[in-house]
Amino acid sequence: MNASFRYGRDHEVVQRLRPEPLTAREQAAQAAVDDLDFEIFRHKMDMVALEGKETTMKLGASTAMRWGDVAFGIYTAQGDLAVCATGIYHHAVLSQIPVKYIVKHWRNEPSVGLHPGDAFFYNDPFYGGVHNADMGLSIPVFADDELVCFIGAAVHTGECGGSEPGGTVCGAKSRYDEGLLVPPIKIGEQHALKEDILSMLSTMTRDPRTMMLDIKARLAASRIAERRVQEIIAEKGADFFVGALRRILSMTADAARKKVSRLNDGIYRQPRFMDTVGPESQLLKINIEVEKRGERITLRFHGSSPMLMDRPVNSYFQGIIGLAMVYFCGWFFHDLPANNGLLESVDWEFPDNSFINAQGDVPVSYAPATQVAFTQGMFMCGARMIYSSDPLRAVASWFSAFAVTLYGGFNQLGDPVADLTPEINATGAGARSDMDGVDVAGAFFATLSDCGDVEATESDRPFLYLFRNQFNHSYGHGKYRGGAGVGYGLMVHGVPWLGMGGMGFGSQFPSTLGIFGGRAAPPAFLQMVRGSNMGALLASGGEGLPHNMAELYGGGEQVEQGKREYADVSLPPGPFMGGDTYYVPVTGGAGYGDVLERDPHAVMKDVRNNLTSAAAARDVYLVAYDPDSLYPDLEATAELRRAARQERLRRAKPYAEFLAGWNALRPPAQILRYYGDYPLPGQPS
């Protein structure tokens, strides 16, 4: 065992997000790598990783695994991610930390060691950077007696045994409320899983069947990929494999630095606000500054809200960097391999005692919400940073606040279940400089994932879908509008009761802000009807039932009767009885550009398709139109917009006058409990 290791957390290994120094073995192996063979190797390795990802999805049982929230990686012998197949980049780049932990602590430890046929499991968020429900497995791969690489899969398993079901604990007071907490541990030897360890893990969660199937899915996919790697080694030799795997990292780092160098130097700032700390509505701030100089991008977070001792929205700094990779891999470095060589061009500075740099025993169950709030700010800074060189990549934000339904109990077959619903993978995309955002595009952090079929979800989950379709009016307006999100209704079905709750933010303060004059996606909230007569209505033919979220939000009389309640999307779980209904908005993307520049024909097309309302066409976009044909009057529209621009100029103030009035404003004191220092009236904000 490493002499500095004292059975506590290893604060050194989590700093090692960038590639490890080139070893003498890797340097010597470069001579065995021909350029043409290297390109063939890269393609083969991409296909090996893709096969591993697809296999994991097909064999797993949890919602996230079945619908593709999977990161499958191939790592160097030192633990650096070199090849990745995923649409969920943060799991990929963060899963190198547990691999490096294994190399550092267990490789030369006699009681553990690394051998062919071993397998390691982990879910401690300190080493994964997110929260306890995100779990991973990796295996070492040998050529003869030489360790040449690791292979592994990371994915969210829907239940981790916390004090609340579904993998996220809204009421967590410390990390000990959040369930399973496992640093890298050997769960397999000599190509066999250790049944004693599996028995322990299964008894620590509410849904042991899903837990075991997900572990075995990760392992089976890793073993298939191991065979493919061994085939390459048998053909080309270990020297070639070791050298080529390292060359992927070096090539990626060189290309990333070159691409960064082409951007204009500058500083870009974007404060991000969250309206929840989990169990209550409160205001928090993530203060983001992105500086680009030469070949480096530096992320700074000074001025962010302090760490919360007993609220679960804290995030480890490594999780924030992991979510930064969603922007870098998916948008800015979209044409480069997704590996941690990209981080060779990125630096970061985190303040101490901040909720985005968690320390000690504070809870982190809601860290995904905090991290996506940061990522939206990264997208907004990135849009301004990249606009001059690649305006098509300067996109508005996708919906980025979650709206996840968590549940736990027994299903209609009598089996224990605890998980989340898959609709987080059906959000609206942000608008861009030349087109509207895509409707129901997916999740920005898991763009290749899917929300699955309603029938497949209902087959072993204790609820019935009442509807699931595009959530009208859910996006941000602009010259180009954001894509619409999805809205859905559930009825607890086939069981006496089910524990249900929600995770997310953005019910009080808009979560998804527009860029370059575009507008935010609207805040959204949950509706619930307890003691609903929905079952009887369905049995009688269901006349007049709501078919989408717009009808629920319309304010008219509802045929569904019962005790109707409203709540923020962050809802502590509680019992819902059989027949109770639960309506959830998963909102759309942000807008891009001034609403007064939107093509009137595009506005009216959205009205005809029921994606926006006649009122929005009239009052937001200022389109004059014939109410019967819904055809725009272009001359009258131009006059309305000219008058609106004149009114804007009339209301305009010199900047100093505006700033004086702005700095005199202050939110209500009751929502600043966790905010940190807020400027007094007259001080700069």
CA distances from 682 to 81, 659, 666, 678, 679 (A): 49, 9, 10, 11, 8
Res. 450: pLDDT tops 90: no
Find the mean pLDDT for residues 474-494: 96
Assigned token pair, 378: 């990264």
Q: Is residue 265 part of a domain?
A: no
Are 610 and 527 part of one and the same domain?
Answer: no
Are 660 and 541 part of one and the same domain?
Answer: no
> How far apart are the C-alpha atoms of 186 and 392, rounded to whole Å?
46
- Order of strands across the sheet that contains 70-76: 81-86, 70-76, 146-156, 134-143, 119-122, 185-189, 192-193
Res. 71: pLDDT tops 70: yes
Q: Is residue 633 part of a domain?
A: yes
pLDDT confidence band for 5 (50 / 70 / 90): low
Are 613 and 643 part of one and the same domain?
Answer: yes
Tell me if 463 sits within 8 A of 491, measured CB to CB.
yes
Are 578 and 481 part of one and the same domain?
Answer: yes
Assigned token pair, 529: 């009807």
Q: Is residue 219 part of a domain?
A: yes
Are 107 and 166 part of one and the same domain?
Answer: yes
pLDDT at position 444, please? Answer: 85
pLDDT confidence band for 290 (50 / 70 / 90): very high
Find the mean pLDDT for residues 169-184: 96
What is the percent of the chain where pLDDT is above 70? 98
Find the mean pLDDT for residues 244-268: 96
Q: How many helices and strands (H and E) does the chain possess?
A: 18, 20
Q: Is residue 303 part of a domain?
A: no
pLDDT confidence band for 368 (50 / 70 / 90): very high
Q: Is residue 669 part of a domain?
A: yes
Q: Which residues contact 122 (CB under 8 A, 6 or more apart)?
A: 98, 101, 128, 135, 136, 137, 182, 183, 184, 185
Assigned token pair, 627: 């109410």
- pLDDT tens digit string along 626-678? 999 999 999 999 999 999 999 999 999 999 999 989 888 889 999 999 999 88
Assigned token pair, 554: 């319309």
Find the mean pLDDT for residues 175-183: 96
Which range marks the domain in which residue 129 is found?
42-259
Are 570 and 665 part of one and the same domain?
Answer: no
Amino acid at 578: G
Are 471 and 417 part of one and the same domain?
Answer: yes
Last residue of one domain, picked from the residues 576, 593, 610: 593
pLDDT confidence band for 544 (50 / 70 / 90): confident
The total of other beta-carbon atoms located within 10 Å of residue 198's CB is: 18
> How far apart are the C-alpha atoms of 138 and 284, rounded to whole Å?
36
Q: Are strands 403-410 and 416-420 parallel, antiparallel or unpaired?
A: antiparallel
Secondary structure letter of residue 62 according to DSSP = S
- The helix/strand/coil state of 234 is helix
Number of domains in the chain: 4
Tell me if 221 sits within 8 A of 56, measured CB to CB.
yes
Task: Give which of 97, 49, 103 is closest to 73, Cα–Cα.
Answer: 49
Tell me if 278 sits within 8 A of 366, measured CB to CB.
yes
Last residue of one domain, picked from the residues 556, 578, 593: 593
pLDDT at position 6, please? Answer: 63
The larger pLDDT score, comparing residue 275 to residue 684, is at 275
Find the mean pLDDT for residues 231-259: 96
Q: Is residue 584 part of a domain?
A: yes
Find the mean pLDDT for residues 435-443: 93
Res. 3: pLDDT tops 60: no
Supply φ then ψ for residue 518, to 5 degrees: -70, 160
Are 203 and 89 part of one and the same domain?
Answer: yes
Q: Is residue 314 part of a domain?
A: no
CA distances from 377 to 8, 395, 398, 461, 519 (A): 33, 12, 11, 36, 15
Return the minimum-mean-pLDDT range out of 140-149, 536-545, 561-570: 536-545
Assigned token pair, 302: 């000074």
Find the mean pLDDT for residues 493-502: 96
Are 560 and 644 part of one and the same domain?
Answer: no
- The gap from C-alpha 521 to its chain's centroid, in whole angstroms, comes to 17
Are 545 and 644 part of one and the same domain?
Answer: no
What is the overall mean pLDDT for the chain? 94
Res. 353: pLDDT tops 60: yes
What is the percent of the chain where pLDDT is above 90? 85
> How far apart are the C-alpha atoms of 184 and 13, rounded to whole Å?
13
Secondary structure letter of residue 105 according to DSSP = I
- The helix/strand/coil state of 625 is strand
> How far apart are the C-alpha atoms of 611 and 311, rounded to whole Å?
37
Find the mean pLDDT for residues 610-633: 95
- pLDDT tens digit string along 307-345? 999 999 999 999 999 999 888 888 899 999 999 999 999
Find the mean pLDDT for residues 285-301: 97
Angle of helix 367-386 relative to helix 317-327, nearest 10 degrees, comes to: 40
pLDDT at position 634, please? Answer: 97
pLDDT at position 382, please? Answer: 95
Q: Is residue 412 part of a domain?
A: yes
Largest separation between any pair of C-alpha atoms in the chain: 82
Last residue of one domain, picked from the residues 224, 259, 294: 259
Are 509 and 576 part of one and the same domain?
Answer: yes
Q: Are strands 463-471 and 119-122 parallel, antiparallel or unpaired?
A: unpaired
Find the mean pLDDT for residues 127-145: 95
On the 0-12 / 13-18 / 19+ scale of CB atoms within 10 A, 574 is exposed
Are 152 and 47 part of one and the same domain?
Answer: yes
Assigned token pair, 415: 């089996």
On the 0-12 / 13-18 / 19+ scale of CB atoms within 10 A, 145 is exposed
* Sign of the torsion angle spanned by Cα atoms 338, 340, 341, 343: positive
pLDDT at position 8, please? Answer: 87
